[in-house]
Amino acid sequence: MQSLTAAAAAIELRGIDKSFGAVHAVRGVSLAIPRGSITGIVGENGAGKSTLMSILYGLYRADAGQILIDDRPVDMASPRDAIAHGIGMVHQHFMLVDTFTVLENLVLGAEGGPLLAGGFAAARAELTRLGQEYGLTVDPDARIADLSVGEQQRVEILKVLFRGARMLILDEPSAVLTPQETDRLFEILKSLRARGVTVVLITHKLREIMAVADRVIVMRQGAVVAERRTTETSTGELAELMVGRKIRLDLDKAPAVHGQTMLAARDLSLVDRRGVRLLNGVDLELRAGEIVGIAGVSGNGQTELLQVLSGIRPPTAGQLEVCGRVIDPAHPIDPAEMRALGLAHVPEDRLRQGLVAAFEASETSILGYQDQPPYCRNHLLDVPAVDKHCAELMRRFDVRPQTPGLRSSHFSGGNQQKLILAREMSRLPKVLLVGQPTRGVDIGAIEFIHRELVKSRDVGCAILVVSVELEEILSLADRILVMSGGRIIGEVAADQADERVLGRMMADA
C-alpha cells in the first residue's frame, strides 16, 4: 500500500497475518507509518488493532508477513527486539507489577547495572526531569496497587519515556483518563512528535484522533479498510468506515418517570487502613426509573463509592439502604447478598473484578449467579444451559467472536466489557451500578450500550453511572452529581448541564 505522505517510513508492515485457532484476527495487513508523525488506528472491538500492535512489539509472532523498521527488515521475536529497535508500547491492559513501587516498575528491564541502588538513583532523577518536562508526576515510592487507573497509566507512559523510545505505540491510552489528563497526554504526544518521535495511537474516540493525529488508519475484521489524512476526513466518515453503517450517538430518550427510592446513602464515609479518608459524608438517592450520573476527575472517590454501594467494602460510617435493607458499619453486607436484593454491578476494572481471565466466556457469563437456576441444579452446573445462556447474551449484545467456549482473556477489551454488561443487565436488576460503561468500547457498541441502559431505565431500573466521560454522563443521565475529594460537591439536572458547567464545578472543588 502506498503511503499518503512522502516522509520516510519509520515502521512498515507487509502482509501481516495472524490467526488464533479458528479466529482470523489479522488478515494480510500492509501499512507504512511515517517518521515523526502521529498515526491513529481505529476500528471496532475485535478488529485486530491490539493484535497487530502486539505483533509489532514482538509479543505475538505473525503467521506471515514482514516488519520493516527504518526500511530494514527485522525479526521481532520478542519485546527485547522491539525495545532494541527503539519501540515502546503502552498496553491496553497495563503491564505493571502490582506489588512493586512506581520506581521498581520503571526500572524493570532497564536497571542500568547489576545493582539496583545506582539505577534507582538515576531513575529518580530522570523521573523528576520527565515530571517537569511533561507535567507527569507520580510518587516514585507509591505501590502500584494503591494508585488509581489514571495514575497507573501515567506510570506506563513514564516507563516508555524512561527507556527513550523513538517509536511509541499507545493502545487506548485515553480510555482510562479524564478529559484533562487526556489533553495533557496529547500535549505530550505533540511535543514528542516535535522531537521526531513516531507515535501510533489506538483509540475509539474519533474526536481525539481528529485533534491529535496526522493520519488515520481504519481497520475492520482484521484488515485495513481505509487510510486518511485527518485534515481530509471527518468523525462521521471514520465512524461509517469502521462499522460499515451510519452511527447515531444522540440518544433521544423520554423524560424519566421516577418511582420509589431504591438506594439511599446517608453520610457515607470510608477511611482506609492508613487513615486516608476516601469517602467523606456522601448523601445520595437513587430512584427507580432514573439514571444518575456521577462525574468527576478519576481518583476522587468514585471507585470507592461503587465498592461501598455494591457491598465489596463496608462503610466506616454512615448508612446505606438498598431495596429496603439497611446497611451500616454494624450491619455489613456482602456482594452476594446485594445481588440477592436485586443490585447488579458492572465494575470499573473489568479484568480484576468483572471476570476471571482464565474462565471460559460461558463461565464468565454466569459469574456471581452460578448458584441460581437455571444454571445450577442440585448443586451441579447445568453446562448446556450455561452455554445456551451465554450464546444468547452474545447474540443480544453482539459479543465477538460468538464462542461460549473461548477463554475470557482471549476476547478483545471491548468484547469483554459487552459480555459483563450483558451478564448484569440480563438479570433485570432493580438497581444497576455501572462503572465506566463504555471504557474501551467502539462507537457502534457505545450506541448500543447506551440504548440498552435507557431501555432498562424505562422498565423501572434505578441506574447509577460513574464515568470520566462527561459526554457520556451528559447524554445518559437524568441527574448529574459531581464528585471531588470523596464528597458530592454538587448536583445538576441533565437539561441544565453541559461540559462547561460540569468542568467548572470540578475545577472549583
Ligand X SMILES: Nc1ncnc2c1ncn2[C@@H]1O[C@H](COP(=O)(O)OP(=O)(O)OP(=O)(O)O)[C@@H](O)[C@H]1O
Task: Answer yes or no whether residue 40 interacts with ligand X by CB under 6 A.
Answer: no
Task: Answer yes or no whether residue 174 interacts with Mg ion by CB under 5 A.
Answer: no
> In sequence order, what are the residues at sequence separation of 6 or more whose Cβ sits closer than 8 angstroms to the Cβ of residue 367?
355, 356, 359, 423
Identify whether the C-beta of residue 292 lies closer than 8 Å to the C-beta of residue 464: yes
Distance CA 207, CA 441 (A): 15
In the complex, the smallest distance separating the C-beta of residue 422 from other proteins, rounded to whole angstroms, is 23
Task: Answer yes or no whether residue 415 interacts with Mg ion by CB under 5 A.
Answer: no
Distance CA 308, CA 459 (A): 26
User: In the stretch 409-448, what mask flags binding to other proteins with x, by CB under 8 A?
Assistant: x---------------------------------------
Long-range contacts of 353-360 (CB under 8 A, 24+ apart): 353/312, 354/416, 354/417, 354/420, 355/408, 355/416, 355/419, 355/420, 356/408, 357/407, 357/408, 357/409, 358/407, 358/408, 358/409, 359/407, 359/408, 360/404, 360/405, 360/406, 360/407, 360/408
User: In the stretch 84-123, what mask flags binding to Mg ion with x, by CB under 5 A?
Assistant: --------x-------------------------------
- Comparing every residue's Cβ against Mg ion, the nearest one is 50
Of 36, 13, 26, 70, the closest CA to residue 168 belongs to 36
Distance CA 229, CA 216 (A): 6
Residue 80, SS3 per DSSP: helix
Distance CA 496, CA 443 (A): 25
In the complex, the smallest distance separating the C-beta of residue 87 from other proteins, rounded to whole angstroms, is 10
Task: Answer yes or no whether residue 412 interacts with ligand X by CB under 6 A.
Answer: yes
Task: Answer yes or no whether residue 45 interacts with ligand X by CB under 6 A.
Answer: yes
Given ligand X, other proteins, Mg ion, none, residue 400, with its beta carbon under 5 to 8 Å by kind, binds ligand X
Given ligand X, other proteins, Mg ion, none, residue 105, with its beta carbon under 5 to 8 Å by kind, binds other proteins
Closest CB to Mg ion among residues 92, 233: 92
> In sequence order, what are the residues at sequence separation of 6 or more whose Cβ sits closer than 8 angstroms to the Cβ of residue 74?
67, 68, 81, 85
Q: 51: buried, middle or exposed (CB in 10 Å: 19+, 13-18, 0-12)?
A: buried
In the complex, the smallest distance separating the C-beta of residue 204 from Mg ion, rounded to whole angstroms, is 9
Q: From the list 2, 6, 22, 115, which residue makes contact with other proteins (rule: CB under 8 A)?
A: 115
Per-residue H/E/C for 429-485: CCEEEEECCCCCCCHHHHHHHHHHHHHHHHCCCEEEEECCCHHHHHHHCCEEEEEEC
The total number of residues written for the chain in this structure:
509
Task: Answer yes or no whether residue 108 interacts with other proteins by CB under 8 A.
Answer: yes
Given Mg ion, ligand X, other proteins, none, residue 108, with its beta carbon under 5 to 8 Å by kind, binds other proteins
Closest CB to ligand X among residues 222, 289: 222
C-alpha cell at 13: 508492515
Q: From the list 9, 31, 39, 46, which residue makes contact with ligand X (rule: CB under 6 A)?
A: 46
Judged by CB under 8 A, the stretch of 42-50, 101-109, 246-254, 335-343 that binds other proteins is 101-109
Task: Answer yes or no whether residue 357 interacts with other proteins by CB under 8 A.
Answer: yes
Q: From the list 37, 39, 50, 415, which residue makes contact with Mg ion (rule: CB under 5 A)?
A: 50
Closest CB to Mg ion among residues 140, 414: 414
Judged by CB under 6 A, the stretch of 43-51, 82-90, 460-468, 494-502 that binds ligand X is 43-51
Task: Answer yes or no whether residue 194 interacts with other proteins by CB under 8 A.
Answer: no
Q: From the list 10, 13, 42, 60, which residue makes contact with other proteins (rule: CB under 8 A)?
A: 60
In the complex, the smallest distance separating the C-beta of residue 222 from Mg ion, rounded to whole angstroms, is 13
Identify whether the C-beta of residue 45 lies closer than 8 Å to the C-beta of residue 418: yes
- What residues form DSSP beta bridges with 143? 101
In eight-state DSSP terms, residue 163 is T
- What residues form DSSP beta bridges with 464? 292, 433
Closest CB to other proteins among residues 363, 478: 363
Q: 405: buried, middle or exposed (CB in 10 Å: 19+, 13-18, 0-12)?
A: exposed
In the complex, the smallest distance separating the C-beta of residue 92 from Mg ion, rounded to whole angstroms, is 5
Task: Answer yes or no whether residue 413 interacts with ligand X by CB under 6 A.
Answer: yes
**Cis, peptide link before residue 140, omega less than 30° from 0:** no
Distance CA 485, CA 509 (A): 8
Task: Answer yes or no whether residue 354 interacts with ligand X by CB under 6 A.
Answer: no
The separation between CA 346 and the C-alpha centre of its own chain, rounded to angstroms, equals 13
Task: Answer yes or no whether residue 315 interacts with ligand X by CB under 6 A.
Answer: no
The site for Mg ion, by CB under 5 A, has a size of: 4
User: In the stretch 15-54, what mask flags binding to other proteins with x, by CB under 8 A?
Assistant: -----x----------------------------------
The position carrying cell 505522505 is: 5
Task: Answer yes or no whether residue 110 interacts with ligand X by CB under 6 A.
Answer: no
Residues of this chain that interact with ligand X (CB under 6 A) are 20, 23, 25, 43, 45-51, 92, 400-401, 410-415, 440, 442
Residues in touch with other proteins (CB under 8 A): 20, 57, 59-60, 78-80, 82-84, 89, 91, 95-100, 104-105, 107-111, 113-117, 119, 357, 409
Residues near Mg ion (CB under 5 A) are 50, 92, 412-413
